[in-house]
Amino acid sequence: MSAERHISGEELEEYRIALVEFRITLDEYRMAVQDRIRGVEDGIRGLEDLIRGLEDHTRGVENCIRGVEDDIRGVQDRIRGVQDGIRVVEDGIRIVEDGIRGVEDLKRELQDRFRGVDDGIRGVRDRIREVQDDIRGVQDHIRGVRDGISELEYLIRGLEDRIRGADNRIRGAEDDMAIQESIASYKPYLTPATRSFIHGLKKLRLDNLEEAVIRENPCCAICLEDFAQSAEELITCLPCKHYFHVNCIVMCLEINHIFPLCRYPMPTLEAGEPSTKAT
């Protein structure tokens, strides 16, 4: 082995200056690494908030995050190794050059690690966008289903209206039969209603009736003709809440004061009042 070379004071001072500059550079690099790590940690927290909302893809994203966290822990371990190297450098100038080469290698490795982390983050963002597209597709499908349900409800309401109309026609036919039977049964004892009551009937047009009234009473209880087919003809309602064409009910009341459908009595002829019965 060759004898150890004697280091002069100037060389030692140069080594010390180089060591100080190296420490400054290393501290700056360490702070930059720590800032990058904090940025990565902030990004991870933001990703974790988004991942919680993606229930169907939680396991895959969590595995990615765990990989990123492992990388961060590896970086932190590397930083601790660098710190140990700094302490070794402080103990002897001879290993400064080896320490610098080690730092350069570590720098390249860290850069590769961070590139991998960036690629992982981009992959997670792409996956999130895909999930968002899937969610929007599901929302569009739900809207389509709701529109279909609305159309079905509209059709059902139309069918219900038709059924009510058929029921009303059936009741009207039954009422007409009851009227015919009642007229036949009580013909010898018919007593007309008073002329003042007949003249006092309230006369309405179809467009003056409420929609609910029209649904419940779509046709004249005497002639069974739909009110909508003769919209210009006047309509009236007796105290029994049945609706008729004015001409139809007047003809009946001029014959008998009792409405045969529900047996509701109307006012009869008063003393001295002329008869309204047709001759």
Q: Please report the domains of the chain, with CATH numbers, ordered by start residue.
A: 9-149 (no CATH), 190-265 (3.30.40.10)
Residue of 169, 168, 172, 170 whose CA lies nearest to 180: 172
Identify the pLDDT of residue 55: 76
**Are 240 and 259 contacting, i.e. CB atoms less than 8 angstroms apart?**
yes
Regarding pTM above 0.95, the answer is no
- Show the tokens assigned to 141: 């499908």
pLDDT at 35 (0 to 100)? 93
User: Which residues on neighbouring strands pair with residue 45, listed in sequence order?
Assistant: none
Q: Please, are residues 271 and 190 in contact by the beta-carbon 8 Å criterion?
A: no
Query: Nearest Cα to 221, choosing from 176, 251, 263, 259?
Result: 176
Q: Are 228 and 179 in contact (CB under 8 A)?
A: no
Q: What is the pLDDT along the chain (279 residues), one digit of tens a residue?
A: 455 667 788 888 888 899 999 999 999 989 999 999 999 899 889 877 876 777 777 687 578 778 889 988 998 998 898 788 778 858 886 865 887 888 789 889 888 887 887 888 898 899 889 989 988 988 988 888 788 888 888 878 888 888 887 788 788 777 767 766 665 554 545 788 899 998 988 888 888 888 888 888 888 888 888 888 877 888 988 888 888 899 999 999 888 888 767 888 888 865 445 555 543
Reading the block at residue 207, the tokens are: 């467009």
